Structure formats: structure tokens, C-alpha cells
Copies of this chain bind each other. A is one copy, B any other.
Amino acid sequence: MLRFELLATEGLARRARLTLRHGVVDTPVFMPVGTYGTVKGVLPRSLEELGAQIILGNTFHLWLRPGLEVLKTFGGLHRFEGWTRPILTDSGGFQVWSLGDMRNISEEGVRFASPVNGDRLFLTPEVSMQIQTVLDSDIAMQFDECTPYETQGHVTTEAEARASMELSLRWAARCRAEFTRLENPNALFGIVQGGMFERLREASIEALVAMDLPGYAVGGVSVGEPKDEMRRIVAHTPQRLPESKPRYLMGVGTPEDLVDGVAHGVDMFDCVMPTRNARNGHLFTRFGDLRLRNARHRNDDRPIDATCGCYTCRGFSRAYLHHLDRCGEMLGPMLATIHNLHFYVNLMREVRESLDIGRFGAFRVQFQADRVRGVDG
């Protein structure tokens, strides 16, 4: 099931409410990524507390470990990972694509060797739907081919991008048929491809809209293209998707990218950046970013951001976080991850509040100014 209620708009920006089988999601929303059935380094209760409404799981990884037999025992991913709110799963398409030379793509699907144990595996649109049905994710993504920006220095041509996009469309139809056959009670999203070519994006949208899926994602961005190329597609594609359905920009991005995405009509985002960067001592704040490893934090008793309400900023100093990082203590990434996820999740809450009162435009201007101010400015 999926219900999407548009509550307010401002320009292309949208404030909406998404009702899924495991609960309600207020959009625009950021979805933390939990590859192997865990958002790295965070207790599920901390995720709930910092306001995460929906998290991601990775079909490809969960298929390999723990595998479907285990996930069936638990009736899906929710009970297995102890998360009661909605879950979105990707299709595995991006991960098998990321295997590079280790996979072989055909019309039927993708053959590859398991990076865990070398087993020969075959992932098809049908298999992806079968796995995501076992996972019982609230939103399943179609199996697609992620069109690369370039391959070993060769920038993808329009003809190549078209062939890839058309393959993804045929796979979308197969996904839809299998999802229906499996009587999956959740929602299936289609993925718009077409590389950096607007007319291909439009063709992809037209064909996917004809399939009448409950939601649509924009894929194939944030795949190595120059930033202005990405901006061009984000400014072009999301606003052309059906107004009455949720729009998800996959794998994006920086805090600025999220706010820009909202301005161009995006409702949903996911990215590993807040969690991965946290583990590398890169902290996001409203007033710019902060590198924990910098020796100037050594004796600084201020929190990361005095205006932040997260558990980390309420109780711990930059000096302490710097010390934990220097000693390689687990608590360092744990506290940094809480802060970064709180920042991303809370940024989207602020965006929603600005949309509620018709002040998103002003919010965006202030946000852009704040971000370049510098955290100690």
C-alpha cells in the first residue's frame, strides 16, 4: 500500500505525507542507509530518537548475508533488524553494476560471482522482486541498469544511454508483472534513467508513467558525473514526474544537494554520506563542516555545533570527540554518526516546517548563507 497526500507546495517544492504499511513518512525526507540490515554504528533506538522515519536496506547485500532462508524466518527485514518504521529497499541493480568486470549483463539479468563466497549468482528483475517480497520492504525498487557517466575514461554516448535506459524500461515491466504475481502488498517504484540526456530522461518518464507505478525515482545521478551535469539533470527530471506521486532522488547527496533537490520537486533522498563521513571524522553542521582530526580541536570544550540538539552535541565536546578519534575508540564514530544523521534528518524537518508556512524560499537563501559562514564564524 502507499498513499501520498500533497499538503503544500512552493514553486516546485512539495510538502507531503506518505503512508506506507509500516507507518507514515513526512516528506521531504532523508532516509539513512542500512546496507546489511543496520545503519552502521547506530542503535535503532537512537535512529528513532533522532527522528528517522524510514531507512534503507540493500537487497543485494541482504540476499548474500544473512540470505533469504533467515529473512523468511523473521517474516522480513523489520523484525530481523528490530526496526518497526518503514523500510525502502533498493533492487540490487546498483550493487551488481558496481561489481564492474566481475558481472555480466544480458537481457535476462546479471550474472556474477558472490563477493562473499564466490558462488555463481544470477540476479534478474524477477529475482529482485522475489527477494524484496521476502524482505517485506514498504517500498521496493525496480531492478534497473544504472547507466554510468563514464567507463574507463569513455563518457557514455547518447546511443549507449538510450540502450541502457530501454533495458531498464523492459526490466521495469518485468518487475511490475512479478510484483503483481507475488501479490506483494507493498509499493513498487520505477526508476528513471537516461544518463545526462534530457530527451532520454523524458522518454523514460513517459514509458514509466504509462506503467502507473505508485512512485518514481531518479537514478543514474551521483555516479561520477561533474557537479554541473548532476545539477542539470536534477533541475530537469524530477519536476516532470507525476505531481500526485512521490519522487525519490537516489544516492544524493550533500546538504546543499538535498535543499536544491527539494527546490526542484524531490520528496525523498538517501545517501551514505552522513554515516560514512562520520566514521572518517567529517561532521556536518548548519554553519559548514568540521574535521575532527584537526589538532585545533584538541582542547576545545565546545560541542560540534552549539545550536544542534542531538545527543552528541548535548553532552560531548570537540576535544572529547577528537580524543576518541585519535585513540581509535568505537565511541568516536558512534557519536559522530548520531550527529551527522541528526543533522540530515533535522535539516529535512526544517525544510518541511518552512514549506508548512510558505517560507521555503527564504529558508533556502538563509541555509546557503549559513553553510558558507564557517562553523566558528
With contacts A36-B327, A36-B329 taken as known, whether A74 is within 8 angstroms of B334 at the C-beta atoms is no
- Which of the residues B65, B82, B298, B324 comes within 8 Å of A38, measured between beta carbons? B324
Within residues 294 to 308 of chain A, which ones have a CB less than 8 A from any CB in chain B?
298-299, 301
Q: How far is the CB of A254 from chain B (nearest CB, A)?
A: 24
Is the CB of A43 closer than 8 A to any CB of chain B? Answer: yes
Within residues 150 to 183 of chain A, which ones have a CB less than 8 A from any CB in chain B?
none
**Count class of interface residues, chain A:** 35 or more
Q: How far is the CB of A322 from chain B (nearest CB, A)?
A: 8
User: Which residue of chain B lies nearest to A326 when distances are taken between CB atoms in the complex?
Assistant: B65
The interface residues of chain B lying within 8 Å CB-to-CB of A73 are 299, 301, 319
Q: Which stretch of A16-24, A310-318, A366-374 is in the interface?
A: A310-318
User: Which residue of chain B lies nearest to A335 when distances are taken between CB atoms in the complex?
Assistant: B43
Q: Do residues A41 and B81 form an inter-chain contact, with CB atoms below 8 A?
A: no
Residues 332-358 of A, flagged 1 when their CB comes within 8 A of B and 0 if not, give: 011100000000000000000000000
- Which of the residues B298, B315, B334 comes within 8 Å of A330, measured between beta carbons? B334
User: Which residue of chain B lies nearest to A316 when distances are taken between CB atoms in the complex?
Assistant: B82
Q: Do residues B334 and A298 form an inter-chain contact, with CB atoms below 8 A?
A: no
Is the CB of A232 closer than 8 A to any CB of chain B? Answer: no
- Which of the residues B66, B298, B326 comes within 8 Å of A298, measured between beta carbons? B66
Is the CB of A1 closer than 8 A to any CB of chain B? Answer: no
Is the CB of A102 closer than 8 A to any CB of chain B? Answer: no
Q: Do residues A331 and B40 form an inter-chain contact, with CB atoms below 8 A?
A: yes
Complex: how many Å from CA A39 to CA B43? 16
Complex: how many Å from CA A85 to CA B303? 21
7 A–B contact pairs at CB < 8 A? Answer: A37-B320, A42-B331, A66-B298, A73-B299, A73-B301, A73-B319, A80-B320
Question: Which residues of A come within 8 Å of B, CB atoms?
Answer: 36-38, 40-46, 65-66, 69-70, 73-74, 80-82, 298-299, 301, 311, 315-317, 319-320, 322-324, 326-327, 329-331, 333-335
